[in-house]
Every structure is written in structure tokens, then in C-alpha cells.
């Protein structure tokens, strides 16, 4: 009898435990689902609005008639996207040129950033020289300074050099990132020093060891830096608006504005005090956001791997 009583007691406890586990998991997934829907709602509204052919944005709202939105009619289409890239309409907003400028700046600044971060991270992680720790501490201290405090100095420097409305001003200002140097230095520091000594015995120089050993091992971290750097350059707004808001210095007819500045121009207020072409502006927001969304979806595993990676084991 005692054994049967113990069996039923254990079975009851197991059922209670399973019930609590199932309820807790249901609650967690329900909370995450609600939170995800709350976060995705503005994005879904933007996507839907970009495909709806309506004349006034004020007619589009959550409480709008579904029949008007096109669910029962023919109000869906790509007309808004066609107007975004229509350069023959006489509009001052030229998204194709803005995209070209942004791609050039993003690729150029990312290349410079990766090169400087890899070289500096390798120097601080593996090379020995006087004042290394003090210099590295000084670099980390600069991260405590808000970037806005350096804007005036940087603008004055660019003006004195004569780099206004040039790609050099847009690219080189992002050429060095202390955070990425620290990020790579931490990854390089986890690589066993025995590999470096073995490479020295084999006659491999520092640059050869960096390119053949350290860079392949740290590739997840470097990939993360590439993606984040490109996203930062793509979303840059304040600096391009200060130093590249007019025509290219070598070709004044070529606008130096980036997609962020171009989107701002699309929201310009007319003489009557109201904006126009709201539908086209929503489509323009989608066009600007699409590349970053695609990049994140395609390389999200590399971002997570790079963030969680701290070197190699052993």
C-alpha cells in the first residue's frame, strides 16, 4: 500500500510540474507574440501604405474603410514606387543619385574602417611596444566623449582642407572606430600566442601571420563589423547634411546628398505649409529601408555569431 501511495504521489507531482511548465511556456510565447505584433505594426502599416494608390495620407488610417484600401477594389499598385525613381518629373528629389552616393560612401567607409580596425586590433593584441597599454586606455577613454562634441571641430577641419561636398569627407570621417578596434583586439587576444611564435619560427612576418592566421579565425567578428559599419554609413544623416548638402565639388551637377538627406527633401514643406505626395514618401521610406532589411536577414547568423564569439577555445 505504501508503494502505491508513493507512486500516486509522484505521478501527481509530475503532472503538476508538467502543467506548470506548459502554462509558463504558453505565457512566454503569448507575451513574445504580442510584443512582436506591437513592434511589427508600424512596419506593416508602412508596407501596406506604400502599395496603396491614395491621394492624401490623411485618408489612410487604422480606422479607414477596407474597401477604400483596395481589399474590395483596385487601389493596390506600384505607382508610388515608380514616382520615387522618376527623375523626369522635374522634382529635386533624385533617389537614383542618392543611392549611388550612399553605396559609394558605405563601401568606402566600411573598407577603411575594417582595414584600420584589423591593423590596430592586431597591434594592441599581439605586438609589444612601449606605452601600448596607456595608448589603448587613452583610446578607450575617447569612447566616453559624445560624438556631437567633435562635430564643430570636424566641420572646421573639413572646411580648411577643402573637402566640402566630396566623397573624402563622407568616407574618411568614419574611417576609424575605437569600438571596432576594441572589439577585434578582444577577439585577437583569445588566439593562442603559440601560433604566433610558431609562425615566427617558420619565418612568417607579422603581416603574413595576420592575413593567413588571425583574419580567418576572426572572420565572424570581421563580418559583423562589416555589416554594422555599412548599416551605420547607410543611416548617417547629421554629418552628410553638414558637409555634403550641395553639388559634388568636381561636378556641381552631381548632388552629393545621401538617401537620408534625400528622404528629408521628400518631406519638405511647400509654400502653403503642408507636405505633398505622402504616398510617394512612404514608398521612399520603404526603398531606403529595404537594403538594410535584406542585409540583416541574409547575414543575421554572422551578426549573432560575431557578437557571441570571444575567440577560440583551447
What's the whole-model pTM score?
0.72
Q: How many domains is the chain partitioned into structurally? A: 2
- Distance (Å) of CA 295 to CA 105, 176, 224, 274: 17, 22, 11, 35
Closest to 239 (Cα-Cα) out of 142, 173, 157: 173
Q: In the prediction, which pLDDT does 42 show? A: 81
Instruction: Please tell me whether residues 70 and 96 are part of one structural domain.
Output: no
Is 153 contained in some domain?
Answer: yes
Percent of the chain at pLDDT > 70 equals 76
Do 187 and 59 sit in the same domain of this protein? no
Range of the domain at 275: 91-308
Please indicate, yes or no, whether residues 224 and 304 belong to a single structural domain of this protein.
yes
Q: Is residue 184 part of a domain?
A: yes
Are both 61 and 130 inside the same structural domain?
no
Q: Give pLDDT, residue 30.
A: 92
Q: How far is residue 53's CA from residue 104's CA, in Å, rounded to a whole number?
A: 33
292 and 188 co-located in one domain:
yes
Given a cut of 80, whether residue 179 has pLDDT beyond it is yes
**Cβ neighbours, 10 Å, residue 270:** 8
CB-based contacts of 13, cutoff 8 Å, min separation 6: none
Domain boundary among 49, 83, 117: 83
Whole-number Å distance between alpha carbons of 61 and 69: 10
Same domain, 40 and 97: no
The answer to the question of residue 95 being in a domain is: yes
Residue 285 belongs to a domain: yes
Give the model's pLDDT for residue 115. 92
Q: Are residues 184 and 204 in the same domain?
A: yes
Which three cell numbers, joined as nine digits, stand for 2? Answer: 505504501
Q: Are 295 and 228 in contact (CB under 8 A)?
A: no
Between CA 256 and CA 241 the distance in angstroms is 10
Sign of CA dihedral 72, 77, 80, 83: negative
pLDDT digits (tens, 9 = 90+) for 103-151: 899 899 999 999 999 999 988 988 888 888 888 888 888 888 887 788 8
Instruction: Mark which of 30, 64, 83 sits at the end of a domain.
Output: 83
Share of the chain above pLDDT 90, in %: 5
Please enumerate in sequence order all residues whose Cβ is within 8 A of that of 84, keeping only pairs 6 or more positions apart, or say none: 95, 280, 283, 284, 287
Residue 24 phi, psi (nearest 5): -65, -40
Q: Is residue 314 part of a domain?
A: no
Judgement on whether residues 211 and 285 belong to the same structural domain of the protein: yes
* 3 state DSSP class of 147: helix
Is residue 72 located within the same domain as residue 95?
A: no
Residue position matching grid coordinates 511556456: 25
Residue 179 CB neighbours (<10 A)? 13
Rounded to the nearest 5°, which phi and psi values hold at 87?
A: -95, 0
Based on the domain organization, do 29 and 164 belong to the same domain? Answer: no
Q: Helix axis angle, 259-266 relative to 278-308, nearest 10°?
A: 150
Shared domain check, 104 and 49: no
Domain annotation covers residue 72: yes
Of 25, 54, 83, the residue that ends a domain is 83
140 inside domain: yes
Mean pLDDT of the chain: 76
The answer to whether residue 313 is domain-embedded is: no
Q: pLDDT digit string (tens) for 202-235?
A: 777 888 888 888 888 888 888 888 888 888 888 8
Find the distance separating the first CA and the last CA of the chain, reported in whole Å: 55
pLDDT value at residue 306: 56
Mean pLDDT of 81-89: 65
| Cell triple for 306 | 560575431
Q: How far is CA 169 from CA 68, 117, 120, in A?
A: 47, 19, 22
What is the secondary structure of 213-275 as a DSSP string?
IIHHHTHHHHHHHHHHHHHHHHH--HHHHHH-SSB-SS-TTSB---HHHHHHHHT---TTS--
pLDDT at residue 57 tops 50 = no
Do 112 and 61 belong together in one domain? no
CATH of the domain at 272: 1.10.3720.10
Determine the pLDDT at residue 112.
92
Amino acid at each position: 500500500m505504501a508503494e502505491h501511495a508513493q507512486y500516486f504521489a509522484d505521478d501527481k507531482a509530475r503532472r503538476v510540474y508538467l502543467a506548470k511548465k506548459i502554462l509558463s511556456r504558453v505565457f512566454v510565447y503569448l507575451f513574445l507574440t504580442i510584443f512582436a505584433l506591437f513592434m511589427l505594426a508600424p512596419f506593416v502599416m508602412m508596407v501596406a501604405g506604400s502599395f496603396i494608390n491614395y491621394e492624401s495620407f490623411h485618408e489612410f488610417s487604422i480606422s479607414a474603410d477596407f474597401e477604400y484600401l483596395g481589399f474590395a477594389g483596385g487601389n493596390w499598385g506600384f505607382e508610388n514606387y515608380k514616382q520615387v525613381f522618376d527623375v523626369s518629373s522635374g522634382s529635386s528629389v533624385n533617389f537614383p543619385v542618392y543611392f549611388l552616393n550612399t553605396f559609394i560612401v558605405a563601401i568606402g567607409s566600411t573598407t577603411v574602417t575594417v582595414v584600420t580596425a584589423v591593423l590596430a586590433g592586431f597591434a594592441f593584441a599581439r605586438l609589444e611596444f612601449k606605452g601600448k597599454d596607456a595608448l589603448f586606455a587613452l583610446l578607450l577613454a575617447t569612447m566616453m566623449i559624445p560624438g556631437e562634441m567633435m562635430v564643430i571641430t570636424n566641420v572646421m577641419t573639413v572646411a580648411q582642407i577643402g573637402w566640402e561636398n566630396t566623397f573624402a569627407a563622407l568616407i574618411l570621417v568614419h574611417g576609424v572606430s575605437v569600438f571596432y578596434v576594441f572589439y577585434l583586439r578582444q577577439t585577437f587576444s583569445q588566439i593562442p600566442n603559440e601560433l604566433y611564435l610558431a609562425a615566427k619560427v617558420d619565418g612568417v612576418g607579422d603581416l603574413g601571420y595576420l592575413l593567413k592566421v588571425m583574419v580567418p579565425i576572426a572572420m565572424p567578428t570581421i563580418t559583423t563589423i562589416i555589416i554594422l559599419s555599412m548599416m551605420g554609413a547607410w543611416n548617417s544623416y547629421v554629418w552628410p547634411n553638414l558637409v555634403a548638402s550641395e553639388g559634388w565639388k568636381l561636378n556641381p551637377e552631381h548632388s552629393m546628398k545621401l538617401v537620408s538627406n534625400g528622404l528629408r527633401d521628400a518631406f519638405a514643406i511647400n509654400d502653403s505649409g503642408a507636405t505633398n505626395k505622402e504616398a510617394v514618401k512612404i514608398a521612399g521610406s520603404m526603398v531606403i529601408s529595404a537594403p538594410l532589411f535584406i542585409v540583416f536577414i541574409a547575414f543575421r547568423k554572422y551578426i549573432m555569431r560575431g557578437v557571441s564569439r570571444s575567440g577560440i577555445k583551447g
